[in-house]
A = this chain, B = another copy of it.
């Protein structure tokens, strides 16, 4: 059964109401719903509305707090540290992006670190709100409560996949880079394992340190690990990136693995740059536009249709979804319908003629 399409407004309203029903206040529910939907619009379906049931479960269990404000732990000109107090991560990170962009206008570059944030979902979803303002923005995140990635050469999990995303203004669509320090993510590994599928390469290690294409090794006892970017061949590069991301998030926020937290959440760093205070936005997009154009015109390798710039696929999917509705995989549709039924909300019907 393939994905059916749903109206953007109807899904946004449902997601907001489901979060409200689990105790999230109005603003947090609206921002969280918007950004989860944004991930689905961009095709990042493991990090969109698929997360909603888990967020509701955390809210109901009191591990995620749906009300109140973060505390400011430090505030120094171009930087600040917030204690999120396990409040909704998408709402906190979006606010941090806006704040970092504001401060970058005054100082040229600025950073907000967030300790004890709730899970922040899909990093790419935060980028357009900065690139639209002509800012370069970086969002990095790690979860000190869990680990699935071993350092290169090792076989015991030490890091999370450690995503890092960078939004880069360019003439036309922005360049949206959304990568991680590991070959694949926890959510993708879980989805493949649930479907009984193998990965396209040796993306995991079993507990003994043997390379495997089977994501189920993560759930074995003792558990295996996800390989860092570069795999067995040059995984020291992925591990280097993991050290950078864990240090910039947990280190600057001052709360991480050393405190051994047990709550699902995130340490976050948001960094912004305002090209206007460097060589100017015009010069900046001249360079990024040149690169994007030459990348798209690059002759493809055999078997590759065409070369894409990071973000091209996400922006194309987003345009399609806005025009024709948001495709929801059957599993996600059913999970949302079940949540809706639990609180007496109506699940919207699919759009006739959707993709």
Contacts and interface: CB of A to CB of B under 8 A. Distances in A.
20 contacts: A78-B107, A79-B277, A113-B278, A136-B251, A152-B307, A153-B301, A154-B299, A166-B240, A166-B243, A166-B244, A168-B243, A168-B244, A179-B240, A200-B233, A229-B237, A239-B310, A240-B310, A247-B291, A253-B279, A257-B287
Contacts of A33: none
Given A78-B110, A179-B237, 15 more contacts: A76-B107, A77-B77, A79-B108, A136-B248, A153-B304, A153-B306, A154-B298, A155-B299, A229-B238, A230-B230, A240-B310, A243-B309, A250-B287, A253-B279, A254-B283
A264 interface: no
A73 interface: yes
Interface of A: 73-74, 76-79, 81, 106-111, 113, 115, 136, 138, 150-156, 158, 166, 168, 175, 177-180, 183-184, 200-201, 205, 208-210, 229-231, 233-234, 236-241, 243-244, 246-248, 250-258, 271, 273, 275, 277-280, 283-291, 294-295, 298-302, 304, 306-310
Contacts of A307: 151-154
Contacts of A77: 77-78, 106-108, 277
A77 B105 CA distance: 10
Q: Interface of chain A, helix or strand or loop or mixed?
A: mixed
